[in-house]
């Protein structure tokens, strides 16, 4: 049977290939051709490398940081990945690379921390972490990973404690400020958190407005109903009231400022708060409550001022879920490799998360950002870039205008 060509028909496939390349640099050497005094031979300089005399390129080092901290892969799995592609490398070698990279990231982390500390609205939360190195003055291996989220920066801090000293360090609060009972320099801070005692201590300072988390209150009602079948109708009624509050808050955010829809949403929000207030007071003063219900209502009563303060900030979240979501990446790492073997590794983890989370907040790909930055370190001779070469990687305002205490700081534009 004979066929005549009718042209072609296209199709497409997507392949996934990983290539590990060994790059060999041959540097020219020269001998002086005259009899003059001085050095007899010279050699071309070595190829730029973020780790002087190291074997791994900036792209390799960036991918190592990305796999370990952003994707949450333990080092032994990364070793297996490399072995599958033909590169046998010990775990200790990769650990040494990570330790050598830690200092290179400090300037970017410091700039992000400084900008975050000056923000006028911050979400904060904390979760446990494990550091298996024995640290002097520290009993046990439980540490705490804190997160602070501002409009344009995200900061992670690793600390041995869950105390208010971490908050004081983050926001530059001194012992004298604590004694005076106010934030320094007349500063103002709106704080979105749960009810943990360290945040309550910070909220007692003049200049701090605490917005407590409605999602936490909702969870208390749900847990009481889940634990006691008798309380299920009571729980469902409370969940519905809090849902009305969220619906009204969502409508506020969707409506244009000053529009009739905005005014209607504000009225609905106030009405939902009034219903919650009326019912809680009626139930507390009514017949004897189930102990679990009484405990939840006592919490609602105790934190009422911080919960209702949301009416003064209708454009801000009713809950602290944004900071809980930010902790998901570290929690994946905690599940996969349990924590950090050494203190330096714990601080490196917080440093990388600070940089990559802030990059993602600005729509930047973390792997590309890290690669560009480490390439700049390589060009600087294995040191952090300085001056104008560092500027593109630092958080900075888009204009030289300084924000007043009543205004949010101008946005940053990190770039790689």
Q: At what angle do helices 343-361 and 328-337 cross, to 10 degrees?
A: 150
pLDDT of residue 347: 97
Confidence label for 416 from pLDDT (cuts 50, 70 and 90): very low
pLDDT, tens digit (0-9, with 9 covering 90-100), for 191-233: 999 999 999 999 999 999 999 999 999 999 999 999 999 999 9
Please give the Cα distance from 255 to 310 (Å, whole number).
17
Question: Residue range 396-414: average pLDDT?
Answer: 42
Mean pLDDT of the chain: 91
* Most confident of the following: 2-6, 272-276, 400-404: 272-276
Strands (DSSP E) found in 171-295:
189-193, 208-212
Q: Which residue has the tokens 């490399």?
A: 82
Please give the Cα distance from 82 to 86 (Å, whole number).
6
Question: Residue range 314-334: average pLDDT?
Answer: 95
Rg (CA), the chain: 28
Residue 387: how many CB atoms within 10 A of its CB? 7
Whether the per-residue pLDDT at 281 is higher than 60: the answer is: yes
pLDDT greater at residue 408 or residue 386 = 386
Which residue ranges make up each domain of the chain? 49-110+340-393, 221-314
Please give the Cα distance from 130 to 119 (Å, whole number).
29
Nearby residues of 413 by Cβ (< 8 Å), 6 or more positions away: 362, 396, 398
Whether the per-residue pLDDT at 408 is higher than 80: the answer is: no
pLDDT greater at residue 286 or residue 162 = 162
Question: Residue range 107-127: average pLDDT?
Answer: 95
Q: Which residue has the tokens 């205008």?
A: 401
pTM of the model: 0.89
Question: Residue range 65-77: average pLDDT?
Answer: 97
Q: At what angle do helices 232-254 and 260-285 cross, to 10 degrees?
A: 160
Burial 162-182 (b: 16+ CB within 10 A, else e): bebebbbebbebeeebeeeee
Confidence label for 396 from pLDDT (cuts 50, 70 and 90): low
Question: Residue range 113-139: average pLDDT?
Answer: 94
CA distances (Å), origin 271, targets 244, 267, 341: 9, 6, 53
Confidence label for 397 from pLDDT (cuts 50, 70 and 90): low
In which element (H, E) is residue 159 found? Answer: strand 154-159
């Amino acid at each position: 049977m004979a066929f005549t060509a009718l042209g072609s028909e296209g199709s497409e496939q997507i392949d996934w290939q990983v290539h590990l390349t060994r790059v060999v640099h041959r540097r020219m050497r020269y001998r002086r051709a005259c009899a003059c005094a001085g050095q007899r031979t010279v050699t071309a300089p070595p190829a730029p490398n973020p780790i002087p005399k190291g074997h791994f390129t900036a792209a390799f080092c960036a991918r190592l940081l990305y796999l370990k901290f952003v994707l949450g892969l333990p080092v032994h799995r990364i070793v297996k990945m490399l072995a599958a592609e033909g590169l046998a490398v010990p775990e200790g070698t990769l650990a040494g690379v990570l330790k050598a990279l830690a200092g290179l990231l400090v300037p970017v982390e410091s700039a992000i921390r400084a900008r975050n500390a000056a923000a006028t609205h911050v979400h904060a939360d904390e979760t446990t972490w494990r550091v298996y190195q024995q640290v002097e003055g520290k009993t046990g291996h439980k540490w705490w990973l804190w997160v602070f989220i501002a409009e344009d920066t995200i900061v992670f801090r690793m600390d041995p404690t869950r105390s208010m000293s971490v908050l004081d360090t983050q926001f530059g609060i001194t012992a004298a400020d604590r004694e005076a009972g106010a934030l320094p320099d007349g500063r103002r801070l709106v704080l979105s958190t749960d009810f943990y005692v360290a945040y309550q201590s910070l909220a007692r300072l003049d200049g701090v407005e605490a917005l407590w988390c409605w999602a936490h209150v909702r969870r208390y009602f749900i847990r009481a109903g889940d634990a006691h079948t008798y309380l299920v109708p009571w729980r469902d009624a409370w969940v519905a009231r809090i849902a009305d509050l969220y619906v009204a808050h969502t409508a506020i955010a969707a409506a244009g400022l000053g529009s009739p829809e905005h005014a209607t949403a504000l009225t609905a929000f106030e009405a939902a708060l009034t219903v919650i207030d009326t019912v809680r007071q009626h139930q507390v003063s009514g017949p004897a409550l189930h102990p679990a219900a009484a405990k939840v209502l006592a919490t609602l009563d105790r934190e009422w001022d911080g919960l209702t303060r949301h009416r003064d900030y209708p454009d801000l979240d009713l809950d602290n879920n944004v900071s809980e979501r930010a902790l998901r990446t570290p929690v994946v790492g905690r599940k996969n490799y349990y924590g950090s073997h050494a203190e330096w590794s714990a601080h490196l983890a917080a440093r990388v998360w600070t940089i990559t989370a802030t990059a993602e907040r600005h729509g930047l790909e973390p792997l590309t950002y890290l690669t560009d930055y480490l390439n700049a370190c390589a060009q600087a001779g294995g040191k952090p870039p300085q001056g104008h070469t560092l500027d593109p990687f630092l958080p900075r305002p888009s204009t030289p205008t300084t924000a007043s205490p009543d205004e949010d700081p101008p946005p940053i534009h990190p770039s790689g």
